[in-house]
Every structure is written in structure tokens, then in C-alpha cells.
Amino acid sequence: MARMYRVLAFFCLVTALMALWGNLQVMAVLFFAQTGMFLALSFIELSERAYMTFFMAYLLIAFTGFMFYAFFGKYPTSVNESALSTLQYVSTYLG
């Protein structure tokens, strides 16, 4: 089970690097923190039940945070010019 936590850490690291490359600093910091958490937990010799309990707690916190952001997050109210021109280009291309 510890190896699966290392695999989770690897994929969180890849996601954090892609977010950093895309100038999404807040998302990158969150995924770097998750990488550190998964990596630290992978080197602690715990029972299978403890690993599953930690993972279920992680999922509960992550999904609750995502749903909170989806319902109460602050989204941009105006569209900038480049996004609008890209949207117009795509709409003319598609139809």
C-alpha cells in the first residue's frame, strides 16, 4: 500500500508541474502539498487499514472542498478580449 501512496505522490507532482507551467500558482501549491503529504505517508509503516482510513479522509476533504468551490467560488464576471476572440474563432470554425 505504501507503493500506491508513492504513485499518488508522483501523479500529484506531475499535476503540480503542469499547473506551474500553466501559471496556476494556487493549484500548483495545493498539488505540491498533496505530493509531500502522500510521499511522507508512504514512508511511514502503517497497517492497510490505516492507509485506507487516511485515503478516505483525504477523499472526503478533497471532494468537500471541490463542491464548496463549485457552489460558492468566485468566478470571473467579465470575459477579456483574447478569450472572446478565441470563442468567436472557434464558433465560426465549428458552424
Which structural domain range is residue 18 located in? 2-94
Segment 42-72, tens digit of pLDDT = 999 899 999 999 999 999 999 998 898 888 8
| For residue 27, pLDDT beyond 70 | yes
pLDDT value of residue 91:
83
23: left (phi over 0), alpha (psi -120 to 50) or beta: left
Q: CA 18 to CA 11: how far, in whole Å?
A: 11
Count of domains forming the chain: 1
CB 52 within 8 A of CB 2: no
Question: pTM for the complete prediction?
Answer: 0.71
